[in-house]
Amino acid sequence: MKMIVVPEVELASGEKMPRLGMGTYKVVDEENFNNSLQLALDAGYRHFDTAFAYVNQHKIGEFFEKVFQSGQFKRSDIFFTTKVRANFMDSKDHVKNCVELCLKELRLDYIDLCLFHSPFVMEYVSDHQEIVGDPILFVHDKQALVRAWQALEDLVDEGKIRSIGLSNFNSEQITRINNEARKPISCLQVECHLYFQQKKMKAFCESHNIQLIGYAPLGSQGPLGATSLGIATSFSSNAPLQDENVKIMAERYKKTSAQIMLRYQIQRNVLIIPRSTNKQRIFQNVDVFDFELTPDDMAELERMDKIERIFRAGGLKKKNHPEYPYDLEF
Ligand code: A2P
């Protein structure tokens, strides 16, 4: 199978970032995971997206330490994204603690892109406190997000992070930070797929030079067990991968439905992090740079938007977190 060269974009920070990376949410099975990381490297993936909350960073760290020691790749060949969990965002010191933990787990001396995983600021209890938390622990201070951002800016100054950004924030929260930011918000990572295309958020980000990164670009095959945390729900009817119109279009291009949906995001300038642990699909998902969707097909895919969010963080909505982001349209 061929190795794909993934093109890059330049972020507001001035750093380069691959347009497509490997998502690792919910990938924890060790043997399978090491295999899929090696397959991803063989296929051409150079960006790996993880998070403190995924509880798999240490495995990524162990794997890449060996890769770098073997000389197969240099540190600068690979782009790592990680995310600070919301219960470290109540003070600058806790943000810094979380980033130090990420560096230690990933066995790196700098992180390429560090995001706030979500705006659900909570009081710190312990490194391993679950994200859903307790309403008593919710931080009700609107300045908390700004203060936490200042800690990320300091870490850029210290050389520990190259670019900084946000995830699962709404436009009001982004603006609140942007108004006081000393360093650019390089990226926003949010749910983005055929049935939830984020058109308004995309336009908003473009007007602020923030690069949109789409998670669950294939629709994530439903909630994957995340329902217990109230994070994700299923689609009301079929999932994007089962969409009959996409299947018909895919046959015309001699591609799979997944490749059509991934190519669509690439062509509309949304960075993507598809996730798979299956060899064939790992190769397939990165193989989206040798064809182009016609303007008519782009327009047809654009019309398929159902504005149907599945990652709704329902548990935090129910507990009335003051920073619950999805009551706003975008
Ligand atoms: P698998 O690991 O068995 O390939 P998302 O990236 O939107 O979160 O979606 C990930 C889910 O989609 C995983 O369950 C993954 O399963 C599945 N998947 C990944 N790539 C493909 C593909 N090319 N075709 C069909 N399903 C896919």
- Mean pLDDT to the nearest integer, 250-257: 98
pLDDT in tens, 36-72: 999 999 999 999 999 999 989 999 999 999 999 999 9
Q: How far is the CA of 97 from the centre of ligand 1 (A)?
A: 33
pLDDT in tens, 225-247: 445 556 788 888 889 999 999 99
pLDDT at 223 over 70: no
For the residues of 270-328, what is the DSSP string, one character each? -EE-----SHHHHHHHH--SS----HHHHHHHHHT-----SB--HHHHHTT-TT-GGGS
- pLDDT of 225 reads 45
Residues 174, 187 contacting (CB under 8 angstroms): no
- pLDDT of 159 reads 98
**CATH level 3 topology of 17-324:** TIM Barrel (3.20.20)
Which pTM does this prediction carry?
0.97
| Sheet containing 47-49: order of strands | 22-23, 47-49, 79-84, 111-116, 161-167, 187-191, 211-215, 271-272
Q: How far is the CA of 109 from the centre of ligand 1 (A)?
A: 31
- Mean pLDDT to the nearest integer, 151-171: 98
Please say if 54 is a catalytic residue.
Answer: yes
- State the catalytic residue, choosing from 54, 195, 264, 324: 54
- pLDDT of 257 reads 98
Q: Are strands 161-167 and 47-49 parallel, antiparallel or unpaired?
A: unpaired
- pLDDT of 31 reads 74
- Find tokens 């990652």 and name the residue: 311
Q: Residue 174, by phi and psi: left (phi above 0), alpha (psi -120 to 50) or beta?
A: alpha
- pLDDT of 5 reads 98
Q: Which of 263, 271, 185, 193 is nearest to 232 (CA)?
A: 193
pLDDT band at 173 (very low <50, low <70, confident <90, very high): very high
Q: Are strands 16-18 and 8-10 parallel, antiparallel or unpaired?
A: antiparallel
Q: How far is the CA of 218 from the centre of ligand 1 (A)?
A: 7
Would you give the distance in Å from CA 158 to the centre of its chain? 24
Question: φ, ψ for residue 283 (rounded to 5)?
Answer: -70, -40
pLDDT in tens, 282-314: 999 999 999 999 999 999 999 999 999 999 998
pLDDT at 86 over 60: yes
Which ligand 1 atom is the nearest neighbour of the CA of 259? 23
Residues with CB under 6 Å of ligand 1 are 23, 216-221, 241, 256, 258, 274-278, 281, 284-285
Evaluate the CA torsion angle 288, 44, 40, 27 in order and state its sign. negative
Substitution candidate for ligand 1 out of 224, 278, 308 with most atoms within 8 A of CB: 278
Helix (H, G, I), strand (E, B) or coil at 92: helix
- pLDDT of 3 reads 94
Would you give the distance in Å from CA 25 to the centre of its chain? 9
pLDDT in tens, 89-133: 999 999 999 999 999 999 999 999 999 999 999 999 999 887 777
- pLDDT of 12 reads 98
Q: Kindly list the domain boundaries of the chain, sorted by start residue.
A: 17-324
